Amino acid sequence: MSDEIKKGLLGIVVDETEVSKVMPEINSLTYRGYAAQDLCAKCKFEEVAYLILNGELPNKNQLKKFENQERKERKLSNTIIQDIKRFPKTAHPMDVARTAVSIMGLEDKETKDNSTEANMRKVMRIFAKMPVALAAFYRARKGKKIISPKKNLSFSENFFYMCFGKVPNKEIVKAFDVSLILYAEHSFNVSTFTARTITSSLSDIHGAITGAIASLKGPLHGGANEEVMHMMKKIKKPENAFKWINKALDNKDVVMGFGHRVYKSGDSRVPTMREYFGKVAKLKKDKKFEKIYDIVEKVMIERKNIHPNVDYPTGPTYHLMGFDTDFFTPIFVISRITGWSAHIIEQYAANKLIRPLAKYKGNQHRKVVQLNQR
C-alpha cells in the first residue's frame, strides 16, 4: 500500500457514477450523456430534473406527470411555516435550508424507508418544498406576508412569485431556468461526496441532503457566487476594476469565481451563463456589473491564466434579478437537490461504507502517568 497522501483526495477515483461527467472530448459537463449547454438551449429545468433523477429525458406525458407530482407536494406544513417565522431574521438562508430539510425529515412518514421507491417519493417532497421554505424565509425576514405557492406556475415562475409577489418576463425566467440547469449536478463535488458518504452508512435521505447543504455553504464551494457579488460591490464601478484586481493579485488575495479543479481550460458552463447574464443586464438596463466582469476576467486570464467558473456570471445575474446576495447559494440548493438525490439513490443501489484511512503523524505510544505525578 502506498504511503503517498492525496490531500483533498486529489485525483483519487472512489466510485462509479452514471449521473454526470465532464467529457474532455467535447470539453463539456454532461448529464446522463447530454451536454449541459444543449439542455439549456432545448429544455426547461423540470425536464432536466427528470433526466437527472430518472436517467432519460421525459416525453410529454412523463413530464406532465412529473410536474403534477412536484406541484402537488409544494405546500409546507403549518409547523414549518411557524418555525420559519420564528427563525432569527439575521440567520443565513443556507442554515434555514439545512434546518428546513431536517424538519421535513421529522415530519415525513417514510423517513426510515430507504427503498428506491420511497426515496423517489421523498425526493419529490424535498424538491417541491425547498423553494417554498426558502421563499417563505425571504419574505418573513423582511417582515412581509408569506406567499403560498401556485400550482399553475412552473418551478422557476413559482419561486419568483413566492419571493416577490409577481412573475417577471419570460426572458428573466428563462435565464433563471438556465442557471438551475447549470447548477443541477456536477459529479463528485464536495457536497455530493458528503451526501454519498452519509448515505454509505445507510442513513436516510433527509440526513444526507442536510449534510450536503452544510457542505455547499462554504465559500470554496457553493458560497462562491455570494463572494463574487461581495467582490463586485467592493469594486463599486467599472473605473475601479482594473486597479482593484491588479492590487488583489499583487497582494496574492484569493479572487472568488475563478478556477476549478475539474476544468483546466475554462468551465464549460460559463459561456451559456455569461450569455444570459448579458441578456438580464440588457433587460434591466444596467451594464455596470458586466463591465466590471469583463475587466476582472481579462486581467485574471492575462496575469494568471485562470478562467472564470460558473459562479462568476451567476452571482451578478441573481443580483440583477433582485435577489439578496445571501440567497444566491440557497438558489443553488433548490437546483442541486436533483443531483444530490440521484447520487444518494445510486449509492444505496451499490453501497459500500466510505471509510478512508489517514496517515498518523502524532505522538508515538506513551504511558499514562497518574494525576498526582504529572
Phi, psi of 19 (to 5 degrees): -80, -50
Query: Which one of 38, 92, 113, 221 is the catalytic residue?
Result: 221
The active-site residue out of 186, 206, 260, 307 is 260
Cα 250 to chain centroid distance, Å, stands at 31
Q: Which residues contact 266 (CB under 8 A, 6 or more apart)?
A: 307, 308
Using the CB atoms, write b or e for 25-51: b if 16+ within 10 Å.
Answer: eeebbbbbebbbbebbeebbbbbbbbb
CA 303/CA 36 separation, integer angstroms: 29
- Inter-CA distances, 229 with 6, 155, 243, 253, 267, Å: 32, 25, 18, 16, 19
Contact 212, 311 (CB under 8 A): no
Give dist(CA 367, CA 374) in Å, integer: 12
Active-site residue 311, yes or no? yes
193-198-202 Cα angle (round to 5): 130
Q: How far apart are CA 224 and CA 205, in angstroms?
A: 25
C-alpha cell at 99: 434546518
Name the strand (E) or helix (H) holding 20.
Answer: strand 20-23
Which residue in 307, 311, 319, 343 is the catalytic one? Answer: 311
Q: In the numeric block, which cell numbers belong to residue 288?
A: 455596470
Nearest 5°: the CA angle 41, 47, 48 is: 75
Give 258's strand partners. 308
Radius of gyration for the alpha carbons in the chain, expressed in angstroms and rounded:
22
Grid coordinates given for 117: 421507491
Answer yes or no: are the C-beta atoms of 140 and 147 closer than 8 Å. no
Catalytic residues: 221, 260, 311
